[in-house]
Chains A and B, each alone.
Chain A
Amino acid sequence: MRNWWSFWLGFLRIRIEGKQLEKFINLSASRGVPLYDLRREGPERMSAKVRLDGFRSLRHVARKTRSKVRIENRAGFPFVMTVMKRRRSLYLGALLFVFTLYMLSTFIWAVDVVGNEKVDKQEILQVAHGQGVQVGRWKPAIDLRETERAIMNNVPGLEWVGVYARGTRIIIEIEEKVLPQSPVVEGGQHVVAAKEGVIQRLLVLVGEEKVKEGDKVKKGDLLISGLIYAPENRLEVQQQDQDKLPDKVLLEKVQAKGEVWAQVWYETMIEEPIHLEGALPTGDVARQWRIKWRNQEIIIKGPSENPFEVSKEEVSIRTPLLWRNLQIPVELLEKEFYELRPYRQERSAEEAIVSAQERFQREVKATLTPGARILREMVVPQPADPGMVKVKITIETLEDIAKTEPFTSSTPQ
């Protein structure tokens, strides 16, 4: 602390010569001029450090003790200043530079919107603009909390807004409201069959059923109608001639809803070789690096030729970027050879059938709706070429085939 102070005040190393050096020390101490680092250099000589502001009063002490004081060295800020004064414009320029840089950093240079997917960025920026958040404004003059509130209140569909400054960049971070998954359908809708099948159970929540349990339906058939007619008219329709349709009294249009559980069959014919053949990577890799310039290629590292008998190769091209979009017309190619080992898996005919069955099961399961279950599986072997198996696989499932469809499409009414 004391050193720090003495640096700013500046201090001198002085040499004192005289016969009454002890008296010199006592007098200067009692006058309140502290001396530091006193060193006796001889019988009539010593050196000491003194602060610049105390040096003036040492002259009286020196006169009283009849000693000579000579300055040996100067150090500290006041002396640095005198050097600076000679090159004033240089230091002034440096100071101005720092000051300008600081001033410029207090302005907004960019406004970013983060986290918007559905909400328009321009809309948010416009509201922010109204609050003063725009490029070129002075940062301390804007209220970020107030901007947050303004965006929150004026832009619909936002759950949370955070506005913060990172350096000269203002980041508007938003979190959008998550709306319910199923979109709200305008108007009424029917329930139609999504797959072909035989109806097992019918559960109508809203609407009028058009099929019975046990009916066979095709894909796209109307299952539950969203158009409700007056009941007496329906009776009349049944009683009257079929070709003469009376005006039905439409009571209301509803959004039909319900579950239609049906038996659905999936059938396929699979032909599979009994023994499997293929190639597997051994994990051995050889890498080759090339430099490509126009039409010339030079191998700079790695083997010159593919060292493996059976292999697979991959080439990746790396184009070095000098700066942003500035490219150099040299490409770096990395070629990788993966060694493969051929294999042959001996299987019995039964094993081949089971694997084919499992494969088909996986395929079917991928298309099933949630809640569906497999009722039965039938595997019927078929005549096949030698070395092959051929099977007909039927999978019977129970699943909900209800699918909603708005009125606009051409469904029978």
Chain B
Amino acid sequence: MAWERGKERLQKALSGFLEMPKDVLMDYPKLTMIGNVQLVLENHRGIIEYSEEKMRIMVTGGQIEIVGEKLILKTILPEELVVEGHIKQVRFDI
């Protein structure tokens, strides 16, 4: 555990020092939203729950919950997923 924390601190320091985006170095999810109709999530770890109203997606260090209407998974690739529909809420449980 101590080793893990040290690694995390080193990565944080490195990303600040090298001015590199945090999602590349630290596996943070990167969310891109177009209005409330499309959400592109990079660096996901899998889907936990999927229905038309609610979606829970595993990411590094926790979950992201998307609440909305008529949600569809437009694409799912090993690293990236695209959600479309009427998005109302995006909540982070990290």
Chains A and B belong together in one complex:
yes
Residues of B within 8 A of A (CB-CB), count: 16
> What B residues does A22 contact at CB under 8 A?
46-50
Known contacts A21-B50, A22-B49; decide if A36 and B78 are in contact (CB<8 Å).
no
User: B37 on the interface (CB 8 Å rule)?
Assistant: no
* Mask of B64-88 contacts with A, CB within 8 angstroms, 1/0: 0000000111111110010000000
> What A residues does B32 contact at CB under 8 A?
none
Mark the stretch among A27-35, A142-150, A278-286, A329-337 that contacts chain B. A27-35
User: B52 on the interface (CB 8 Å rule)?
Assistant: yes
| A37 and B75 alpha carbons, distance in the complex (Å) | 6
> What A residues does B47 contact at CB under 8 A?
22, 25-26
| A188 and B73 alpha carbons, distance in the complex (Å) | 103
> What A residues does B11 contact at CB under 8 A?
none
> What A residues does B51 contact at CB under 8 A?
40
> What A residues does B77 contact at CB under 8 A?
29, 34
Tell me how far the C-beta of B14 lies from the nearest C-beta in chain A, rounded to whole angstroms.
28
Contact of B75 among A28, A36, A46 (CB under 8 A): A36
User: What's the A-B contact tally at a CB cutoff of 8 Å?
Assistant: 45
Contact of A38 among B46, B73, B78 (CB under 8 A): B73
Contact across chains for A34 and B48 when beta carbons are under 8 A apart? no
List residues of B (1-58) whose CB comes within 8 Å of A's CBs: 46-52
> What B residues does A40 contact at CB under 8 A?
50-52, 71-72
Interface size, A (range)? 10 to 19
| A38 and B84 alpha carbons, distance in the complex (Å) | 10
Contact of A36 among B46, B49, B74 (CB under 8 A): B74
> What A residues does B81 contact at CB under 8 A?
29
User: A129 on the interface (CB 8 Å rule)?
Assistant: no
List residues of A (363-386) whose CB comes within 8 Å of B's CBs: none
Tell me how far the C-beta of A182 lies from the nearest C-beta in chain B, rounded to whole angstroms.
82
User: A85 on the interface (CB 8 Å rule)?
Assistant: no
> What B residues does A37 contact at CB under 8 A?
72-74
> What B residues does A30 contact at CB under 8 A?
46, 78
Contact across chains for A38 and B72 when beta carbons are under 8 A apart? yes
Contact across chains for B50 and A35 when beta carbons are under 8 A apart? no
Contact across chains for B75 and A25 when beta carbons are under 8 A apart? no
Contact across chains for A25 and B76 when beta carbons are under 8 A apart? yes
| A36 and B74 alpha carbons, distance in the complex (Å) | 5
Tell me how far the C-beta of A37 lies from the nearest C-beta in chain B, rounded to whole angstroms.
6
User: A359 on the interface (CB 8 Å rule)?
Assistant: no
User: A39 on the interface (CB 8 Å rule)?
Assistant: yes
Q: What are 27 A-B residue pairs whose CB atoms fall within 8 Å in the complex?
A: A22-B47, A22-B48, A22-B49, A22-B50, A25-B47, A25-B76, A28-B76, A29-B76, A29-B77, A29-B81, A30-B46, A30-B78, A32-B78, A34-B75, A34-B76, A34-B77, A35-B73, A35-B76, A37-B73, A37-B74, A38-B72, A38-B74, A38-B76, A40-B51, A40-B52, A40-B72, A46-B50
A22-B48, A26-B46, A26-B47 known; 8 new pairs, CB 8 Å cut-off, are A29-B77, A29-B78, A32-B78, A37-B72, A38-B72, A38-B73, A40-B51, A40-B71
Query: Which are the 7 A-B pairs with shortest beta-carbon distances?
Result: A38-B73, A26-B46, A29-B76, A22-B47, A40-B52, A34-B77, A25-B47
